[in-house]
Amino acid sequence: MADPALLRAEDVEFSYGDQFSLHVPEFIIPERSVIGFVGPNGSGKSTFLRVLAFLVKPHKGSIFFSDDAVSFDNDEITRHVTFLPQDPYLLKRSVFENVAYGLRVRHDHKNLGERVRGVLRQVGLSPDLFAERQWHELSGGEAQRVALASRLILRPKLLILDEPTANVDRESALLIKDAIVLLRREYDTALVIASHDILWLSGVAERIDKMVQGRIAGYVSENVLPGPWSRKSGELWSRMLPDGQVVRATAPPSENASALLSPRDIILSLKDPEGLSARNALRGHVTAIAMEETRESLTVTATVSNLSLHCRLTVQAVRELGILPGSSVFVIFKATSLRWNERDSS
Amino acid sequence: MDYLISGFIGAFKLLLSGDAETYSAVITTIAISSLSIVLSLIAGIPFGFLLGYFNFAGKRQVRAVVDTLLALPTVVVGLLVYAFISRRGPLGELGLLFTILGVALAQTILITPIVVSLTATAVESLDKRLGMTLATLGARGGQLAIATILEARYAVLIAAVTAYGRAISEVGISMMIGGNIKWHTRTITTAIALETGKGEFSMGIALGIILLSLALIANSLLIGLKRRN
Amino acid sequence: MKKTMRVLSVCIMALILAMPMASSAEVLRMATTTSTDNTGLLDYLAPTFKAQTGIELQWVSVGTGKALELGKNCDVDVLLVHAPSAEIKYVTEGYGVDRTQVMFNDFVFIGPKTDPAGIKGMSASEALKTIGMKKGLFASRADKSGTHVAESGLWKTAGLAVPDKEQWYIQTGQGMLNTINIAAERNAYTFTDRGTFIKYEANWKGNPPLVILVEGDKLLRNQYSVILVNPKRCSNVKNELANKFRVWMALPSTQKEIAAFTLMGKQLFIPNAHEK
């Protein structure tokens, strides 16, 4: 928790004409952290990521890197941050030269060949098969992996990824995810990952921020409920928890699919509501209550059997409930609030 | 009609027998146009890059001037350069008139606008993501410029081939500045003009065939490059 | 890719370096008229000149007007031209020195075999008067060349103005052979040096559409002279080499060689360096 900030953005503003503006009062990336980033297209997410990567200069505000204020033309600091866009561009050179480029411009030629081959292996590309290929001889997934390899080889202190798995095949997506996790584990790289793949983000990120209309809408951590699911009757499916309680859901895409549950869709109650069968009411107890960055709401974490579920409540609601860590509560949500991850359909 | 046919027959005889006068003109042409293309690339690529890469006030006007210079008539260039390098001109001391270097310099003036204009267009039409990619990989200052030109290299080569084609085929400058001196500044085109003036059609046709072959080589190179681009 | 570029650039450099080395001998630069070059006379004389003096002769062949202009601009060392009246004026004005006559050939009037104006066998003046009267088509080079200057002079000698604005007077602005070709296409008369006409005749295998109609008149003599570019005006000129060439052209042995030069088996130039 007490990790010092690797990067701190203060009062960043960026506007596009009159219609839209980005405004982030404060944004902190702790050292070695992984931060997920979600938000609809056009929310300003990609612009903000480019600001964090020192590629776009904000119209207002300042950014501190390891407590040093960064001017956008300061080579040495900005070279610690690198960015992988959603649709990366490969230089019109061989795979080897694409990957080696970042080291060449840093005049770092030591063991260049071995290092290039190493990162190619990390992204699942055989150096013997791919190193000498030209940029136009790659599939979309291969190109994305080459682009990632050309960033991994730099061992940045901060790697920012914009939808790294959006336009690639399933196999490439898995390899990219593995490589990102490995980077963090081996080189203490901090990561900011924007993705629609909330399931994966929930697995790797310590924090997920959401951007809506140019504002960071605060801390959101999607709950994940893994399978297996079994059919109960008609459209109703269920999942038995180890303590015998049952979670009801709509038809999943496959038996082992994971369901997502937004913290906003959960309410807590001290009494069993005894109601519709399509509504889940699970017995559990509160394990944590945390203040959100926006200071308008609280995140209450409740444990139900072996699940840990986050729910988002107003300060007012928590006060009225009178709950504290340790309190017994019913966790209530509709079966239709469980969302299925499209990726699990195959 | 039969002088044309006998011209063609004579042309092949000249080519196959390795006629020294013919080959001297060919070598002179290649030497002059190679020199002028090298000079025009050295002058034109950086200027074209600046014009294509940066946005500045008056950029459109500069582009308009450069594009107008694409249509420079060779005789106008020839006349202007003659006025400068004639012994009575400001650069007369250099003794450039009637030399290969003089012709090459004048041709450089003729073809540099082609290199500038096509390079600027090539740089302008590069992928919008390129600059950001180079920056995030750590390229700075001159490294950005070099990598950008390298990305545009096929289009720049197309510019070079186009400019080369113009250089080997022009006659006005070669005649006015080179003086068509046998064994020295006689190029394929000035030789054609001379031989036709003398009524030596076979020699003219032979040289025409060589010029066409050179243009053909340059153009097949161009087609290959366009496909790669 | 890189390798081929390297090889290519080395070749180009070698080529560029090799070119000026080929001309390391002492070079004399001359401006002359198309007739001396087109007939091959200079190709015939230059090797002998080099063998006897060690000087390499390089020449630019242009119209006499342009040749005189190149001399005025100090761009050449010596002139070999054929426009006596213009030459004398040129020397008087101080642009040239040591004018030396070396040889002559002659001009002829040629025209269609049908001879529509009927000038065959006339004197030069009579022929021009007849053409002017009958408005026969006439092609003129109109390019200030020696031939053009001579033609203009003949109109004046015949007591006529140059018919500059007449419909029947075709001003080509081109070289002699092109002008002959234009005259042939238009069925016109024209005025040419004999050497070019012999070449033209040979191209048609001896059966050309245009034939000689007027020749042999004293007025048709075409005198060639060597003039040195004035070293007092042009400090850069190689006056010494130029003078060697002037002297060499007048040598009996050179004069003999000029007389021996033939085109299609016909003598073209008559040496007259010692005629006063």
> Any idea what the CATH number is for the domain that residue B141 is in?
1.10.3720.10
Contact at 8 Å (CB) between B215 and B24? Answer: no
- Which residues in chain B have Cβ-Cβ distances shorter than 8 Å to A148? none
Q: B125, B130, B133: which to substitute to probe chain A, counting the most A Cβ within 10 Å?
A: B133
> Using an 8 Å Cβ cutoff, are B202 and B148 in contact?
no
Question: Residue A320 is part of which domain span?
Answer: 221-345
A239 beta partners? A247
Q: Give pLDDT tens digits along chain B (229 positions).
A: 666 787 778 778 877 888 888 888 999 999 999 999 999 999 999 999 999 999 899 999 999 999 999 999 999 999 999 999 988 888 888 888 999 999 999 999 999 999 999 999 999 999 999 999 999 999 988 899 999 999 999 899 889 999 999 999 999 999 999 988 888 899 999 988 888 777 677 778 888 888 888 888 888 887 887 776 6
**How far apart, in whole angstroms, are the C-alpha atoms of residue A220 and residue A40?**
14
Note whether A240 and A290 are same-domain residues: yes
Q: Which tokens in the block code for residue C165?
A: 């604005």
3-state SS class at A168:
coil
DSSP for C21-57, written as a single string: HTT-SEEEEEEEEHHHHHTTHHHHHHHHHHHHH-EEE
From residue A50, give the alpha-carbon distance in Å to each of A159, A162, B145. Answer: 11, 9, 21
Whether the bond into C209 is cis, omega within 30 of 0: no
User: B61 vs chain A: nearest CA distance in angstroms?
Assistant: 27
> Domains in chain C: how many in total?
2
Quote ipTM for the complex: 0.78
- From B196's Cα to the closest Cα of chain C, the distance in A is 9
C240: in domain = yes
Phi-psi bin for C121: left (phi > 0), alpha (psi -120 to 50), beta? left
Question: For residue B56, is it within any domain?
Answer: yes
Q: Is residue C254 part of a domain?
A: yes
DSSP alpha helix (H) spans, chain A = 45-52, 75-78, 95-104, 112-122, 127-130, 140-152, 170-187, 198-204, 315-321
Domain match, A132 and A261 both: no
Considering the domain architecture, whether residues A110 and A164 belong to the same structural domain is answered as yes
Residues A162 and A197 in one domain: yes
CATH of the domain at A286: 2.40.50.100
Contact criterion met (CB below 8 Å) for B96 and B105: yes
State whether A42 and A185 are in the same domain: yes
Is residue B81 a part of any domain in this protein? yes
Number of neighbours of residue A264 by Cβ within 10 angstroms: 12
* Residue C276 placed within a domain: no
Q: Is the pTM of this model over 0.80?
A: no
For C110, the domain range is: 106-220
Residues C172-229: tens digit of each pLDDT: 888 888 899 889 989 999 999 988 898 888 878 778 899 999 998 889 998 999 999 9
Domain assignment present for residue B120? The answer is: yes
Do A231 and A191 lie in one domain? The reply is no
Assess if residue B68 is contained within a domain. yes
Q: Is residue B203 part of a domain?
A: no
- The DSSP string of B12-50 is HHHHHTT-HHHHHHHHHHHHHHHHHHHHHHHHHHHHHHH
Residues of B within an 8 Å Cβ radius of C: 3, 27-28, 30-31, 34-35, 38, 86-89, 92-93, 95, 97-100, 179-184, 194, 197-199, 201
The last residue of one of the domains, among A148, A182, A212, is: A212
- Is there a contact between A78 and A24 (Cβ–Cβ < 8 Å)? no
Dump pLDDT digits (tens) for C103-156. Answer: 998 999 999 999 999 999 999 999 999 999 999 999 999 888 889 999 999 999
Token couple for B63: 């582009």
Q: Which domain holds residue B136?
A: 27-187
From B59's Cα to the closest Cα of chain C, the distance in A is 33
Q: How many domains does chain A have?
A: 2
Q: Evaluate whether chains B and A are touching (3 or more beta carbon pairs less than 8 Å apart).
A: yes
Do A178 and A317 share a domain, yes or no?
A: no
Which pLDDT tens digit goes with each residue over A30-87? Answer: 888 889 888 877 788 889 999 999 998 899 998 999 888 888 776 688 899 999 999 9
CATH at residue C232: 3.40.190.10
Q: Are both C209 and C137 inside the same structural domain?
A: yes
Q: Among residues A170, A193, A212, which one ends one of the domains?
A: A212
Residues B84, C69 contacting (CB under 8 angstroms): no
- Which residues of B are less than 8 Å from C59 in CB distance? 181-182
Per CB-CB distance under 8 Å, the chain A contacts of B136 are 53, 55, 81-83, 151
d(CA B85, CA C75): 9
Residues C92 and C173 both lie in one domain: no
| Interface membership of B126 toward A (CB under 8 Å) | no
What residues form DSSP beta bridges with A281?
A: A332
Instruction: Tell me: do A158 and A247 sit in the same domain.
Output: no
Distance CA A273, CA A268 (A): 10
Interface contacts A/B by beta carbons within 8 Å: 50
Which residues in chain C have Cβ-Cβ distances shorter than 8 Å to B38? Answer: 12
Number of structural domains chain B divides into: 1
* Claim to verify: residue A301 and residue A152 sit in the same structural domain: no
Q: Are A72 and A42 in contact (CB under 8 A)?
A: no
Same-domain pairing of A18 and A131? yes
- For residues A164 and A182, membership in a common domain is answered with yes
Residues A46 and A192 grouped into a single domain: yes
- Element housing A175 (H / E): helix A170-187
Whether residues C129 and C208 fall in one domain: yes
Residue A73's SS3 state is coil
Look at residues A55, A63, A61, A54 and name the one whose alpha carbon lies nearest to residue A21: A61
